[in-house]
């Protein structure tokens, strides 16, 4: 996260992202693609262009990942990558399978919204209640003005009695 926020990218850092994007753990992959997106939107283009081939490989794998959020970050990453290396990004998009290509094209305008609003926008546009970024039961309870847990409910009842 520090590397992504700093905008400084070197070979060892890129290797750690490459390893994270290939991890067996879905959360690690999702976070690795999220950080890659942060890097693509914050690093200097000259630094990123030196690593275009590796970034292209990461994004190619990411747009077909089994994890919904990882795919979404990778699709946004394709459009961020287009700002860095238009030719390589266009070749990547053209080489994708048609269904994946359509999904990437659908997210074309999402990058600007993500840059303006951050992950809150992705959470609102995530599909369904089972989505990892959808609000959980605690948020739903708070929206209804109820305590999220039984312990909080008892504490509220105790304070009301006093």
The residues near 22 (Cβ < 8 Å, ≥ 6 apart) are 29, 61
Exposed e or buried b per residue across 145-161, where buried means at least 16 C-beta atoms within 10 angstroms of its C-beta:
eeeeeeeeeeeeeeeee
pLDDT in tens, the chain (162 residues): 566 656 666 777 777 878 898 899 999 999 999 989 988 988 888 888 888 998 999 999 999 999 999 999 999 999 999 999 999 999 999 999 999 999 999 998 888 888 888 666 555 555 443 444 433 333 333 444 444 444 444 444 444 445
User: CA 25 to CA 11: how far, in whole Å?
Assistant: 23
pTM of the model as a whole: 0.69
Is the Cα torsion angle 145, 148, 149, 151 positive or negative in sign?
Answer: negative
Q: Are 134 and 124 in contact (CB under 8 A)?
A: no
Domains in the chain, CATH or no CATH each: 2-125 (1.25.10.10), 135-162 (no CATH)
């Amino acid at each position: 996260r520090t590397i992504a926020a700093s905008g400084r990218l070197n070979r060892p850092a890129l290797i750690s992202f490459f390893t994270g994007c290939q991890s067996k753990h879905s959360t690690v992959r999702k976070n690795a693609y999220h950080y890659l997106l942060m890097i693509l939107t914050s690093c200097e283009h000259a630094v990123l262009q030196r690593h275009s081939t590796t970034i292209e490989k990461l994004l190619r794998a990411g747009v077909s990942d089994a994890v919904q959020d990882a795919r979404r970050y990778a699709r946004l990453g394709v459009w961020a990558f287009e700002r860095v290396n238009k030719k390589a990004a266009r070749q990547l998009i053209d080489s994708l399978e048609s269904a994946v290509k359509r999904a990437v094209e659908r997210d074309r305008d999402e990058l600007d919204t993500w840059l303006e609003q951050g992950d809150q926008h992705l959470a609102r546009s995530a599909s369904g209640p089972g989505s990892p970024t959808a609000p959980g039961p605690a948020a739903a309870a708070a929206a209804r003005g109820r305590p999220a847990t039984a312990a909080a409910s008892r504490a509220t009842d105790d304070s009301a009695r006093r």
